[in-house]
Structure 1
């Protein structure tokens, strides 16, 4: 393990927590220097988007306070990690840089460069698991190959048993004798700044970034929605989901802790816990795919789809982004996304399907918008889920599944609580017409104070015609793929 008396650099990345953090356990009683490097050049187009940057700012503030309270303040740096960290290790005499494993292709390439730079100076980069329940190499099919289908993957992970129990947070940390000065948090420029409007103004009403916020969100979920998760998670008008995705994305809570806490809250009843644990396993599956198929964020995993004849239309893409498609459940989701940096899981599927299938816009354009606007934007989950909806992933929705946005709205938001909240111009429409306002008689529209085409758009496409066009186009590609 190198010189166990020499200091260690604790390189925080997507593990912004103290509890169940293997890098803290591996540091032992050595002097430590916690450091975070904003390295946007290495990430390139996958540097955090606007909403994720907002989250990161507040998460770093929380982590910095928690580390300072334990005696070792967080050093903030900006620039290329493979240059900054070897210099910092040399300056402090650190023998090792301890970091949580990352799985994104750009991060893996950077880790290799950093490891080589440290090795040249007689130092080590030590990468530790902690972001997943199981490492991608641990989960192999009977033939030894990676999994391409979710269900056998989930069974294989379950067969490995529960993840190890979570580790406690350290009481105290031993700091390096003379820590260098870093950047102040504000200098990282993570928050929206004038003359930009403060598009994140409503975020704090819903979110508390940081480890304490993650623990509070977990406790709230365990005490309420978990018990009815199987049914309630599909209803966007109620708080039926965990809301843990951004906390997991930034590693403010470990998936192992969430797994054990959910089981404990249900008295160990695995059948009752299964619907929620399956969501954690979908996250695992997304990382498994990303690790073995690093092209996933940019290229379809089914090669035939590379030549898909998209009908690119900037006006349609803009209408979708702004929540102005004329389909209320889609528009409510897109406006929720813009206002709160998050969208309900069921509505993500509906909105994504609408973009790809009704509008025939490339899934990569939808994924890019989600990347910039979601506080939980996660490269593995975002790209795996978009490929699933588009039908071009390894384990995809069948091409002929085209969500009907009217029926989806009526089924999952029957009382209209969700649509009325996020599309208030429709609030006075009766339930009967809320998800199909174009069918409302003129008198009903007048009574609701609504003029279609002025207060709310008419549908940008007609559902039946769009469905026929999507099926004809998709069938051609899918049949070629099967040939």
Structure 2
């Protein structure tokens, strides 16, 4: 007997507990599950969605289904590893065989750490040096076939959909009234279609070498892949080796190399996973050995303005609005709003931006991961490369939980790593470079079309003033039917003053840190060669992670 299982905890189904916008990642999740169920139907099987805590639900299934073997994808993140160890201990007590495989990452992260003397590499250069000494990543497994499954499947009952079916948004407590059409459609079928489109752009893929931002790139691309990698709809290894094949075929184009190439972007992902795998406090400042302890301000009102697109800076507010409406924003847009919240303007902790007050009884603010889909079988079978699905206990959008709750591609490890990076709390120390919310916005969106789309209150504002409407003369504001301070807020800070003060504050933090001979692990910089050029010129090999 064989069954594909997804575990859904009961507390995630509290009716009426969810508010607008957060439903978009959940909708994507449900689409992924529906697509998986559709694929399994073609193999004469079905997906079984089990509701409840793993420690409670699985033992009941083991007994009811007379299970002799449990197989799953290894979870590389700290909380998932603890959960998996507990489940494996339970299986051992019940004499149930366990098969686990690495597939969400390219490498087995423990081997990278072992090769590096027992510690995770904390610079990209060091990471590249270590993996160069390892065998290449394993190829992705071939698709599962009817022949492979044979007769090893669970009989489907007539009430399967009622008992084990994929729940609806309404069952999860969401209202679907006014729900916008999905910009991103979840599932492996869509992921493979996008991958094909992505690789058809051979010249672009081969020469991809640095972040670029144009008005067009600010919109979600039909070749974007990051949510599909995060949810396991697209195998990282499949993507890696298809890139390899493309690089071999394209011989008349100068190819980019890591860290800026698409291969390099996959390795950035691997780098952050490796840095986080043995660090349960990777998403926190306190207790995190690689994070600089910075005395950030606490200001709930300022945090709410940032989260709810009320900063008074149209570029920042348009980005935050797109995030709430679509669950995705361009990688450099992420950099802009993260810098604004932390070291650039508001001097607030990166933790607030990453996850705010989202809590989870099992492991802090962490999504359910790849082992939430597993095969339960009497015979050994090939382990599928399955997804990572985020389910959080608390549903209301707290001011600081925006990225964690709304981003479709917010891997825990990558999300935390990027926030530490962009706030100069770890990995990166060029704190004297800040994103100007006016100049950078004007460079990316010179005509203001992006701003007009996401902030329609400014749609009639002349292009000359749309990035800083507070300087528009009164008659211009009146003609645009947008009075600044009434219809749209005044800037919450003076960027020139705030950024200058914050650069000095960060300078003092690092000055104090430099007085200690042994800095420990935290804030280990990227190599000098990697950190000599300006962010504003987009020349620093920053991780991008949206694979668009």
In the TM superposition, what whole-angstrom CA distance separates every residue of 1:131-150 from its partner, at most 9, and x where no partner exists?
01112123246545320112
User: Which one is further off, 171-180 or 111-120?
Assistant: 171-180
Counterpart of 1:445 in structure 2 is: 477
Residue 425 of structure 1 and its aligned partner are, at CA, apart by 2.5
Contact 2:291 2:420 in 1 (8 A): no
Kindly indicate whether structure 1 or structure 2 has the higher relative contact order, using CA contacts under 8 Å at least 6 residues apart.
Answer: 2
In the TM superposition, what whole-angstrom CA distance separates every residue of 1:314-349 from its partner, at most 9, and x where no partner exists?
221111111111112211110000000111111001
Out of 355, 358, 371, the residue aligned to residue 341 of structure 2 is 355
In the TM superposition, what whole-angstrom CA distance separates every residue of 1:420-448 from its partner, at most 9, and x where no partner exists?
22122323334333322223333443443
Structure 1 unaligned regions, length at least 5 = 1-30, 43-48
Residue 68 (1) aligns with residue 69 (2): no
In the TM superposition, what whole-angstrom CA distance separates every residue of 1:28-75 from its partner, at most 9, and x where no partner exists?
xxx421111124779xxxxxx754322211111111111122012111
Task: Measure the CA separation in 2 of the matches of 1:188 and 1:136.
Answer: 35
Out of 190, 194, 197, the residue aligned to residue 213 of structure 1 is 190
Contact 1:237 1:416 in 2 (8 A): no
Residue 397 of structure 1 and its aligned partner are, at CA, apart by 4.2
Residue 154 (1) aligns with residue 128 (2): yes
Task: Measure the CA separation in 2 of the matches of 1:79 and 1:304.
Answer: 35
Counterpart of 1:169 in structure 2 is: 143
Residue 298 of structure 1 and its aligned partner are, at CA, apart by 2.1
Task: Measure the CA separation in 1 of the matches of 2:240 and 2:132.
Answer: 12
In the TM superposition, what whole-angstrom CA distance separates every residue of 1:60-105 from its partner, at most 9, and x where no partner exists?
1111111122012111101121332233233333322100011222
Q: How many residues get paired?
A: 441
Counterpart of 2:200 in structure 1 is: 223
Counterpart of 1:14 in structure 2 is: none
Q: Provide the secondary structure at the position in 2 that maps to 1:112.
A: helix
Contact 2:240 2:263 in 1 (8 A): yes
1:419–1:475 distance in 2 versus 1, CA, 3 Å? same
Task: Measure the CA separation in 2 of the matches of 1:293 and 1:132.
Answer: 17
Residue 232 of structure 1 and its aligned partner are, at CA, apart by 6.5
Q: Return the structure number with greater helix share.
A: 1
Counterpart of 2:18 in structure 1 is: none
Structure 2 unaligned regions, length at least 5 = 13-21, 356-400, 516-548
Task: Measure the CA separation in 1 of the matches of 2:420 and 2:292.
Answer: 10
Residue 271 (1) aligns with residue 259 (2): no
Contact 2:79 2:280 in 1 (8 A): no
Residue 289 (1) aligns with residue 275 (2): yes
1:339–1:191 distance in 2 versus 1, CA, 3 Å? farther
Counterpart of 1:455 in structure 2 is: 487
Structure 2 length normalisation: TM-score? 0.74
1:5-44 to structure 2, matched below 5 A, reads 31-39=1-9
Counterpart of 1:385 in structure 2 is: 418
1:52-451 to structure 2, matched below 5 A, reads 52-140=25-113, 143=117, 145-157=119-131, 160=134, 162-172=136-146, 173=149, 174-176=151-153, 178=155, 182-186=163-167, 191=172, 193-194=174-175, 198=177, 201-204=179-182, 206-224=183-201, 226=205, 229-230=208-209, 233-235=212-214, 237-238=216-217, 242-266=223-247, 267=249, 271-272=255-256, 274=258, 275-299=261-285, 301=288, 305-306=292-293, 308-357=294-343, 358-368=345-355, 369=401, 370-393=403-426, 395-451=427-483
Residue 116 of structure 1 and its aligned partner are, at CA, apart by 0.8
In the TM superposition, what whole-angstrom CA distance separates every residue of 1:105-137 from its partner, at most 9, and x where no partner exists?
221111111111110111133221110111212
Task: Measure the CA separation in 1 of the matches of 2:448 and 2:245.
Answer: 35
Q: Provide the secondary structure at the position in 2 that maps to 1:294.
A: coil
Structure 1 length normalisation: TM-score? 0.83
1:178–1:221 distance in 2 versus 1, CA, 3 Å? closer
Task: Measure the CA separation in 2 of the matches of 1:330 and 1:419.
Answer: 9
Residue 189 of structure 1 and its aligned partner are, at CA, apart by 6.2
Task: Measure the CA separation in 2 of the matches of 1:223 and 1:331.
Answer: 34
Residue 467 (1) aligns with residue 467 (2): no
1:265–1:374 distance in 2 versus 1, CA, 3 Å? same
Task: Measure the CA separation in 2 of the matches of 1:160 and 1:115.
Answer: 28
Q: Provide the secondary structure at the position in 2 that maps to 1:434.
A: coil
Task: Measure the CA separation in 2 of the matches of 1:166 and 1:425.
Answer: 48
Contact 1:249 1:378 in 2 (8 A): yes
Contact 2:477 2:483 in 1 (8 A): yes
1:316–1:264 distance in 2 versus 1, CA, 3 Å? same
